[in-house]
Each structure stands twice: as C-alpha cells, then as structure tokens.
C-alpha cells in the first residue's frame, strides 16, 4: 500500500519528496491520508480518494471546488489581515494538469496542501470556540454570496432535500432489503410523527420565502480548522458546496458541535444539546453572515438544529434498513446506534426549542441590521 500511495502522490505536481503516509479516519465517505514530505522546508499534503459511488461526477465536483477556492482567494487577498495560505485550501493539480488523478481501478484521487499548525474538533468545549466556528461558516457564506458564473454543479442531487430523504426512507422500509424492520419499529414511528413538520424548509423555498444560496452542506464541526491559539483558520471539506438553503450550514454544525455526546454515542445519557454552545455558534454565525442573512433565513435557524438531527437520523436509519450500503460502519449495529443518538439529540432540542428560538432572536437583534 505504501508504495501505491507513493505512486499516487507522484502523479501530482507537489513540491517535495514523499516520505510517509498516515490515514486520517474521521470521515464516513472519502479516504484521507496525511502525506509527509522528506524536506523540512516543503509543505506536507492531504491525499484523498473521493468516493465516486456517492459523488457521481468527480471531475465536475473538483471544478466546483476550484471555482470556490479561487473566488475566496481573490477576496482574501484584498483583506490585509488575512493569511491567504492558511485561510483557504490549496489544491495541487496532477502532472497532466487535471484537478484529479484516476487510477487503474477507476478511483479518483486529489491532493491539497496540508495547512500546518492546524487542528479540528469533533465536539466543541467552550462557547467561544463555538462562536468562532459559527463566525467562520457565516463568513464562508458571505464570501460566496457573489460567486460569478453558472450555478455550481449539484454534487449530490437533492442532498439536503428532506422530502427526498423521506422518500428514500419510505422506499427502504417498503423493500426491507436487509430484513431489519422488526428491530426499528419505534424509530420508524419517530420519523413519521415528525415527517410533515420537517418538510417546512422545502415548502418555504417553493413559496419563494427562502432564497437559495451557495452553502457548504457539510458543516460538521470538524470541517473548520483552528490554529495554535484556537482561532479559526479555514473551512475545509468542500465536496458538497453547492446551491441550497441556509439551514444546511447552521443545523449540521449544531448537530455535531453543540452535542454533549458523540454523533454515535452508545451512551444516550451523554447525548443532549448544550445551550451555551448553541448560543456561541448562533452569535458567531449571525455575526459572520450579517451582511446577507434575511429575516426569513434567521427565522429558520433554530429550527434547522432540529431538522438536521432529524435528517441525519433518517439517513442513518435508511442506511441501516438497506443493509449499510452508504456510510462506512465500524460494527454491524453502527448505523442504528448513530440513529438512536441523533434521535436523542433531537428530543433534547425539542425540549429546549423555545430557548433556542430566543437565543437566535436576541443574537439577530444585536448583530444583524436586516433584522428589525
Ligand atoms: P472527510 O470528508 O473524510 O471528513 P476532510 O476533508 O474533512 O474529509 O478531511 C478529514 C480531516 O483531515 C479533517 O477533519 C482535518 O482534520 C484534516 N484535513 C483535511 N484537509 C486538511 C488540510 N488542508 N490541512 C490540514 N488538515 C486537513
Ligand atoms: C458524511 O464524510 P463526512 O463525514 O464529512 C456525509 C454528511 C453527513 C455526515 C454524518 C457526502 O460526511 O452528509 O452529515 O457523514 N457526507 C455525505 O456524519 O453524505
Ligand atoms: Mg470532514
């Protein structure tokens, strides 16, 4: 394998000599490796195999990322305080000029410069960190509000469309491919009890009450890098940056960053929404996005916390019922364990929903001119 990884790395126009590779195993979809180079004064790199069963057109996905990072880089270069090399990711082309390399087995690979002295968190430990992460994602949206040209390619169709996710779920229940329905009756009930309420964003969009934006669509909290002083550096993991609703970039971060437990916590007593972390993220996100957020968008932010715990529960449960064909799992019950943890988080948000709404409203009044 080492040799193969070295051969892959050498398909790209990197600066430096391959020394060693180390897997980074946080993600559920792609494969990621940290590549160290032999020379101390040359960058290290991130090598990724992009899952082409899920991302159907990797060349177009890569084109999206190039457009997005080029746009951000130009904007940052006009902001004197920015550190362009660490505030946006840098892709390295293959030696043939393409933004990917396809190996003989048909796999797609890409390389990014490793941003030095950076780290990410799977969960947040303080309100200030939550504020900084929220601000980084709000600012990310603000930077892309004026991306010129054609709409970005939709890398996964209907990715955060709740109506579509429910249809996939109901198809899975109907087909019962893995014969697991008996064990998930209660969870199926949880889904159906909330199904209609959870489609409100799609409905508001159709009615023209929520604008489509360029959104990140995977604002898991470990997709923001922090520096040695715990200040934010950069938003990463740009595979799903595309057109969508603002709910995507608020709800998914709350689901991961403001959870007192883990996404797949086996101990459900550990799982709940931490309101302080919610407040930090909300204040940061609204501050970072104040230049573009509309009153209607702010009005669905607290709801999006519930929506994304629900959507993720539906997605994990669908995969469990289908026999684990989408997410990487670490044991046979993993998708069900994840589902239960997401439902527990949702219940905690349901219990604290009034407070969540008040926090968002206060943050909007204090930080956002568009919010009367
Ligand atoms: P996944 O889709 O599997 O989550 P990511 O692109 O988020 O893949 O990368 C996984 C992890 O690798 C990140 O959480 C981060 O810790 C690290 N990482 C990714 N890209 C970079 C980078 N350019 N510089 C530093 N670390 C990175
Ligand atoms: C996947 O690969 P990763 O871990 O960044 C998934 C997200 C889910 C997340 C749940 C393309 O993200 O949508 O929210 O797992 N990405 C895709 O942890 O489906
Ligand atoms: Mg990631």
275-288 vs 301-322: helix axis angle to the nearest 10? 110
* Closest protein CA for atom 3 of ligand 1: 27
CB atoms < 10 A from the CB of 358, how many?
12
* Dist. CA 167–CA 184, nearest whole Å: 17
Q: Which two tokens stand for residue 326?
A: 């989408």
| Residue among 90, 116, 104, 94 at smallest CA distance from 34 | 116
Mutate to test the pocket of ligand 2, among 27, 28, 335 (most ligand atoms within 8 A of CB): 28
Contacts of 151 (CB under 8 A, 6+ apart): 243
User: Which residues of the chain are modeled with pLDDT < 70?
Assistant: 1-3, 372
CATH number given to 2-113: 3.30.200.20
| Domain ranges (residues) in the chain | 2-113, 127-367
Q: Do domains 2-113 and 127-367 have the same CATH topology?
A: no
pLDDT at position 3 is 59
pLDDT at position 56 is 97
Q: What is the pLDDT of residues 328-339, one digit of tens each?
A: 999 999 999 999
What is the bridge-based pairing of β-strands 232-235 and 224-226? antiparallel
**Cα of 176 from ligand 3 centre, angstroms:** 30
Q: State pTM to two decimals.
A: 0.96
Atom of ligand 2 nearest to the CA of 240: 11
Atom of ligand 2 nearest to the CA of 156: 11
**Cα of 164 from ligand 1 centre, angstroms:** 28
End-to-end Cα distance, the chain: 59
pLDDT at position 190 is 98
Atom of ligand 2 nearest to the CA of 223: 5
CATH number given to 127-367: 3.90.1200.10
Q: What is the pLDDT of residues 5-42, one digit of tens each?
A: 999 999 999 999 999 999 999 899 999 999 999 999 99
């Amino acid at each position: 394998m080492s040799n193969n990884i070295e051969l892959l790395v050498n398909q790209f126009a990197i600066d430096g000599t391959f020394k060693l590779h180390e897997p980074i195993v946080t993600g559920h979809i792609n494969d990621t490796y940290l590549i160290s180079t032999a020379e101390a004064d040359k960058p290290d790199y991130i090598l990724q195999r992009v899952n082409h069963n899920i991302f159907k057109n990797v060349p177009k996905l890569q084109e999206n990322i190039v457009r997005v990072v080029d746009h951000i880089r130009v904007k940052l270069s006009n902001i004197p305080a920015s550190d362009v090399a660490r505030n946006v990711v840098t892709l390295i082309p293959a030696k043939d000029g393409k933004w990917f390399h396809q190996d003989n087995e048909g796999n797609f690979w890409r390389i990014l410069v490793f941003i030095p002295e950076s780290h990410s968190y799977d969960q947040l430990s303080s309100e200030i960190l939550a504020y900084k992460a929220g601000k980084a994602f709000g600012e990310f949206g603000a930077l892309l509000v004026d991306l010129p040209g054609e709409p970005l390619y939709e890398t996964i169709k209907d990715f955060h469309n709740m109506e579509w996710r429910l249809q996939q779920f109901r198809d899975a229940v109907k087909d019962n491919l893995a014969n697991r329905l008996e064990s998930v009756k209660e969870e199926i009930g949880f889904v159906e009890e909330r199904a209609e309420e959870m489609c409100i964003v799609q409905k508001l969009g159709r009615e023209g009450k929520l604008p489509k934006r360029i959104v990140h669509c995977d604002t898991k909290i470990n997709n923001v890098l922090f520096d040695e002083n715990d200040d934010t550096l950069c938003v990463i993991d740009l595979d799903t940056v595309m057109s969508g609703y603002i709910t995507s970039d608020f709800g998914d971060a709350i689901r991961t960053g403001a959870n007192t437990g883990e996404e797949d916590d086996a101990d459900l007593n550990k799982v709940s929404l931490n309101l302080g972390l919610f407040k930090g993220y909300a204040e940061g996100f609204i501050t970072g996005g104040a230049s573009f957020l509309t009153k209607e968008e702010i009005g669905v932010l607290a709801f999006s916390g519930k929506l994304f715990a629900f959507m993720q529960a539906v997605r994990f449960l669908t995969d469990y019922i289908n026999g684990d064909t989408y997410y990487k799992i670490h044991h046979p019950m993993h998708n069900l364990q994840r589902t239960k943890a997401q439902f527990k988080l949702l219940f905690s948000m349901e219990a604290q929903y009034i407070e969540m709404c008040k926090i968002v409203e206060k943050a909007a009044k204090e930080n956002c001119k568009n919010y009367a």
